[in-house]
Chain A
Amino acid sequence: MNDFTKYLAGRVTAGGMNRREFMGRAVAAGVTLTAASQLYATSAEAQTPKKGGALKLGLEGGAATDSIDPAKATSQVMFVAVRTWGDTLVETHPTTRAPIPSLAESWAPSPDAKVWTFKIRKGVTFHNGKELTTDDVVATLKRHSDGKTESGAAGVMKSIKSIENKSGDLVVTLESGNADLPAIFTDYHLVIQPNGGVDNPTAGIGTGPYKVKSFEPGVRMTFEKNTSDWRSDRGFADTVELITMNDATARIAALSSGQVHYINRVDPKTVPLLTRSPNVQLLTTAGGGHYVFIMHCDKAPFDNNDLRMALKYAIDREEMVKRILGGYGKVGNDFPINDTYAFFPEGIEQRKYDPDKAKFHYKKSGHSGSVLLRTSEVAFPGAVDASVLFQESAKKVGINIEIKREPGDGYWSNVWNVQPFSASYWGSRATQDQFYSGAYLSTADWNDTRFKNEKFDKLLIEARSELDQSKRKDMYREMAMLVRDEGGTILPMFNDYVNAATKKVKGYVNDIGNDMSNGYVATRIWLDA
């Protein structure tokens, strides 16, 4: 969606434009007819939220081992749960992904982006009646970043040197400048808890629109409306219920029989059947998540860039999007960033299935014999099928890929990031910097392609503290080219987030930040009687 269309959508929301006018102008601006129609619908619905009702969500990705402690929230269900009962300092704009204020009212960096000062909102109370103070914020951030932390956010918090309360303001000092610090504070683990949750991490007390009423891990979690919520533009239903449903068929049955209002993780293969049901609407959002085949750049035979290039040209991306994603996604270009990120480098040539180039590089690499690709259903949905498609398209250019199917159990600790060539996936991160720092920097914990490039590292560090936007964009382009042409990532596709709801559900926000309206689904939708 370009800026003009966004402006149009904004006018619809403000009530200043009817459907015909909107459609005409949006289509003239180059938006397809169905997209314009959907856009109008979502914008128009934003006008009149209805309050009340008991909202039920049937979600994949919960387990009896789930913990209510936000530091340990890893499953999909707990991701939505923390977004429902808690608030972070900063949120992201649903369509531009720019950081916007939440519990932090405003912020300002020092000129070198090393010291950041956040003004904390006044008059916000926790569910237990206590008022939010800067000390609570400091304690929370410390709990996720000190040496003893077991937090899932430990990785993104590593660059922080000190966290202080200076006369009521939060002052964060970094090891080195980072222009994206506010984006880090949108991480869902970093929900602000009274005294940082140090006394009782699993209390489930926050400042969010819903209070936790009951929690049975792996079964369900119930919430009731927080009547003293500091915001009035969210939390429309009276109660919210998150039901863990790990069986895809069970979710679809529950949705089509109207027992739940919303489900996540709809298998693209079942979409045509699901949309036949008169009560169901499909909710798809483009995102930055992607499926990959990763090669270790430092292990034979993948230490040979010509072999890596040959494999990159030997994969049929279009077919994968069609067959594996059922069309709900976009082709990838062998770097992990797409247009859902700020500073996306536009206009880089799209890499395609090219038998000639593949043969050329394969010959140049001098490699003979087969390469062993390890795959598993848990790597990403359809990973085994995708591996077979890859095998077939590579066979046509004379590259022999041998597939080894690994057990799903233990895949992330024994195969991924251990074996030299395997299937995997990546979720979206808040910024390009966060993504590259986590997975492509030489020293990154999750550098699963063993991509070690001095030039890249230097650019990444420089771009991090660069406050000049156009210079920064150029740097990100250069980095993308390095990863695309020298890296170990074969990135055939970016997957859309495919969810579904009953037609009673209104106000769904297509948030490019992450799946399930960036986790805010329960607080943003309402039930139309």
Chain B
Amino acid sequence: MSNTSEAGRQPGLRFRERFPLLSLITERLVLSVILLFAVSVLIFGGVEALPGDFATTYLGQSATPQAVANIRAELGLDKPVVTRYFEWLGGALQGDFGKSWASRNSVSEQVGKRLGNSLFLAGFAAIIAVPLAICLGMLSVHFRNRMPDKIINVVSLAAISLPEFFIGYLLILYFAVNFGIATFPATVYEDMGFLERIQTIALPTATLVLVVLAHMMRMTRAAILSVMSSAYMETAELKGLSAGRAIIKHAAPNALAPIINVVALNLAYLVVGVVVVEVVFVYPGMGQYMVDAVTVRDMPVVQACGLIFAAVYILLNMVADILAIVANPRLRHPR
């Protein structure tokens, strides 16, 4: 770039100055696509590096050399790795994720069902956990270092310290086996009504809420507390605002960015990180689906699941960043 040109002449820069948010989103979207490519290469390489291919692992102990050879030939496993990757990529770019090697069903259809289940459970847990965590965080700031604060802290820390499967088992033992008031297993089916569905997922939802609550709650508390110690909060207090009003009006908006970040992280976890809860409650979500596929090296399924998981993470992080910028005017106009 020549030193005589003005910054305003560069179309990219002008665009960026005029629409800082839009350009940020575009930039992020382009990066996301590149990232997804990288993820697909990594997953493909990772599964390739695992010992055994689909034919041997799927047939397991009952594999005969002939049957293994037949499966390899049919699925084209005898072709070079690079060829197979680009064949898969060609299909994926046209929206065709292929068929599961194992069940020979369409991957998109299967993933659709499982993803729906995962999002349903995660969404439901989030609807309860996020407001609850933020309210509890604010409460514990309000009662800082007094009894309610301590109780909230101890209980939520205890919940996060227990492994999630253990919380699950405890809930099953008391609510399903001993009292018999909750549904178990929490398996949902296509032909289930909405209310029945909610009733069925009560226990896994409760488990997930307990698992993610403490993290978000403590971050809320810490963020608000750090804001509270700043000069403008002192001013607010000196000018006679009540504590509650000061928290909601002055502290909360400034503390939003870190809270949004931790919420996004936990939401992503709720979608992609709950295999154990799925297994314990026999819930047909994405996690179990992917684990089953990895076990037999069912590449099309593994790829589709991996990409969706990556996309969920990327998307939620992007939303978190954007919201943080929107919430904080200072970030909107970078110098």
The stretch of B133-141, B145-153, B274-282 in contact with A is: B274-282
**Least Cβ distance of B111 to chain A in Å?**
10
Q: Do residues A413 and B57 form an inter-chain contact, with CB atoms below 8 A?
A: yes
Q: Do residues B62 and A247 form an inter-chain contact, with CB atoms below 8 A?
A: no
Interface residue from A65, A155, A413 paired with B64 (Cβ < 8 Å)? A155
The stretch of B98-106, B251-259, B261-269 in contact with A is: B98-106
A67 and B103 in contact, given A244-B282, A250-B185 (Cβ under 8 angstroms): yes
| A residues 464-500 touching B (CB-CB < 8 Å) | none
**Least Cβ distance of B207 to chain A in Å?**
13
| B residues 10-63 touching A (CB-CB < 8 Å) | 50-52, 56-63
**Least Cβ distance of B78 to chain A in Å?**
15
Q: Which chain B residues lie closer than 8 Å to A212 at the CB level?
A: none
Q: Do residues B62 and A218 form an inter-chain contact, with CB atoms below 8 A?
A: no
In the complex, whether B110 has a CB less than 8 A from a CB of chain A is yes
Q: Do residues A65 and B296 form an inter-chain contact, with CB atoms below 8 A?
A: yes
| B residues 178-194 touching A (CB-CB < 8 Å) | 180, 183-185, 187, 189-190
Q: Which chain B residues lie closer than 8 Å to A63 at the CB level?
A: 102, 292, 295-296
**Least Cβ distance of A457 to chain B in Å?**
19
| Interchain CA distance A69-B101 in the complex, whole Å | 13
Q: Which chain A residues lie closer than 8 Å to B103 at the CB level?
A: 64-68, 202, 217
In the complex, whether B313 has a CB less than 8 A from a CB of chain A is no
Q: Do residues A219 and B57 form an inter-chain contact, with CB atoms below 8 A?
A: no
Q: Do residues B296 and A218 form an inter-chain contact, with CB atoms below 8 A?
A: no
In the complex, whether A409 has a CB less than 8 A from a CB of chain B is yes
Q: Which chain A residues lie closer than 8 Å to B50 at the CB level?
A: 409-410
In the complex, whether B284 has a CB less than 8 A from a CB of chain A is yes
In the complex, whether A245 has a CB less than 8 A from a CB of chain B is yes
A152 and B62 in contact, given A64-B292, A245-B185 (Cβ under 8 angstroms): yes
Q: Do residues A65 and B67 form an inter-chain contact, with CB atoms below 8 A?
A: no
Chain A contributes a number of interface residues (CB within 8 A of B) equal to 46
The stretch of B169-177, B227-235, B242-250, B314-322 in contact with A is: B169-177
Q: Do residues A250 and B282 form an inter-chain contact, with CB atoms below 8 A?
A: yes
Q: Which chain B residues lie closer than 8 Å to A64 at the CB level?
A: 102-103, 110, 114, 288-289, 292-293, 301
In the complex, whether A154 has a CB less than 8 A from a CB of chain B is yes
| A residues 180-226 touching B (CB-CB < 8 Å) | 202, 216-220
Q: Do residues A253 and B176 form an inter-chain contact, with CB atoms below 8 A?
A: yes
Chain B contributes a number of interface residues (CB within 8 A of A) equal to 51
**Least Cβ distance of A255 to chain B in Å?**
10
| Interchain CA distance A47-B222 in the complex, whole Å | 70
Q: Do residues B64 and A410 form an inter-chain contact, with CB atoms below 8 A?
A: no
| Interchain CA distance A256-B174 in the complex, whole Å | 12
| Interchain CA distance A410-B60 in the complex, whole Å | 9
Q: Do residues A445 and B61 form an inter-chain contact, with CB atoms below 8 A?
A: no
Which secondary structure dominates chain B's binding surface?
A: helix
| Interchain CA distance A409-B297 in the complex, whole Å | 10
Q: Do residues B105 and A217 form an inter-chain contact, with CB atoms below 8 A?
A: yes
Q: Which chain A residues lie closer than 8 Å to B67 at the CB level?
A: 149-152, 154
In the complex, whether B66 has a CB less than 8 A from a CB of chain A is yes
| Interchain CA distance A170-B62 in the complex, whole Å | 27
Q: Do residues A219 and B279 form an inter-chain contact, with CB atoms below 8 A?
A: no
| B residues 193-249 touching A (CB-CB < 8 Å) | none
Q: Do residues B102 and A243 form an inter-chain contact, with CB atoms below 8 A?
A: no
Q: Do residues A155 and B282 form an inter-chain contact, with CB atoms below 8 A?
A: no
In the complex, whether B74 has a CB less than 8 A from a CB of chain A is yes
Q: Do residues B61 and A410 form an inter-chain contact, with CB atoms below 8 A?
A: no
| Interchain CA distance A446-B100 in the complex, whole Å | 28
| Interchain CA distance A247-B280 in the complex, whole Å | 6
Q: Do residues B57 and A412 form an inter-chain contact, with CB atoms below 8 A?
A: yes
Scoring A64, A219, A413 by chain B CB atoms within 10 A of each residue's CB, the highest score goes to A64
In the complex, whether B70 has a CB less than 8 A from a CB of chain A is yes
| Interchain CA distance A217-B104 in the complex, whole Å | 11
CB closest residue in chain A, given B289: A64
Interface residue from B51, B52, B66 paired with A154 (Cβ < 8 Å)? B66
Interface residue from B56, B62, B74, B180 paired with A257 (Cβ < 8 Å)? B180
Interface residue from B61, B71, B282 paired with A412 (Cβ < 8 Å)? B61
**Least Cβ distance of A266 to chain B in Å?**
16
CB closest residue in chain B, given A425: B61
CB closest residue in chain B, given A247: B279
In the complex, whether A147 has a CB less than 8 A from a CB of chain B is yes
| Interchain CA distance A63-B103 in the complex, whole Å | 10
CB closest residue in chain B, given A63: B292
**Least Cβ distance of B21 to chain A in Å?**
40
A-B contact pairs, 16 of them (CB 8 A): A64-B102, A64-B292, A65-B296, A150-B70, A150-B74, A202-B104, A216-B284, A218-B288, A246-B279, A249-B280, A250-B185, A257-B176, A257-B180, A259-B183, A409-B50, A413-B51
Given A250-B280, A410-B51, 15 additional A-B pairs, CB 8 A: A58-B282, A63-B296, A65-B295, A72-B102, A148-B70, A150-B67, A216-B190, A218-B292, A243-B185, A247-B282, A259-B176, A259-B183, A409-B295, A412-B61, A413-B51
The 10 lowest CB-CB distance pairs between A and B, nearest first, are A65-B102, A413-B52, A410-B51, A64-B292, A63-B292, A219-B284, A413-B56, A64-B289, A414-B51, A257-B177
